[in-house]
Amino acid sequence: MIVFLPRPVKKNFRKIQIWQRLRTITPPLNPRRIVLASSSPYRRALLDRLRLPFEVHAPAVDESALPREPTRKTALRLAQAKARAAAPSYPGALIIGCDQVAELEGKALGKPGSHDNAVAQLKDMRGKDVVFHTALALLNAESGALQTAEVPTTVRFRNCSDREIEHYLELERPYDCTGSAKIEGLGIVLVERVTSDDPSALIGLPLMSLAAMLRKEGVALV
């Protein structure tokens, strides 16, 4: 005897097959709420690479350096301050704080904010090594546990001409970037060499360190 399955059963069977296939390629769901305490679009784009749902919070933190404070410590202090500033608004969440301070011959470099400042920075940096101190803090707002890391990146800038500097700034206008150059964009042509343990650190968020911290908090990444 031949039995024909009703069409609805075939459709349901097909749905089950699709669902089972999706289960094999979809990352595990994480119940933890993740917050990026930064208004930087560059850090947001980097965090997107981990394919985790997250929220963004712009913390109100005074980013001024303290007197005689080493640049590395400034970055670490501000990364922690940003994470802690967001904590009251997100109880129970995992909060990511970040900061970056560039150092040239012992002098801290910030975001230029204007064309003239960017020109001055790039002229000062040409032919020299600049160390970008990128700090990361992951705060568990429920337990209070705090993990921190600082990933330095040494960038050797080319001895660019005044014309090259002006032309680059006209094209990319990186006035919101520490060091006046977008290394992930056209700014790469101003650079001779980059030395770092994590290539994402220079853009503003060291993903290798962050991934290790998230795993320690029980977040499944793959």
* Pair 83, 90: CB distance under 8 Å: no
- Residue 212's pLDDT is what? 97
| Catalytic residue of the set 62, 99, 116, 129 | 99
Q: Would residue 24 count as lying in a domain?
A: no
Q: How far is it, in rounded angstroms, from Cα 168 to Cα 170?
A: 5
Question: Does the residue 194 lie in any domain?
Answer: yes
Overall number of domains in the chain: 1
To the query of whether residue 124 is one of the catalytic residues in this protein, the response is: no
Segment-wise mean pLDDT, segments of 10 residues, the chain, 222 residues: 46 46 50 90 95 93 89 95 95 96 91 94 96 97 96 96 96 92 92 94 95 95 90
Q: What is the model's pTM?
A: 0.81
- The reply to whether 19 falls in a domain is no
| Domain residue limits at 186 | 30-216
pLDDT computed for residue 16 by the predictor: 39
Does the residue 88 lie in any domain?
yes
Task: Write the CATH number for 110.
Answer: 3.90.950.10
**In sequence order, what are the residues at sequence separation of 6 or more whose Cβ sits closer than 8 angstroms to the Cβ of residue 168?**
122, 160, 181, 186, 187, 189, 190
Q: pLDDT at position 183, please?
A: 87
Q: Which DSSP state fits 52? A: -
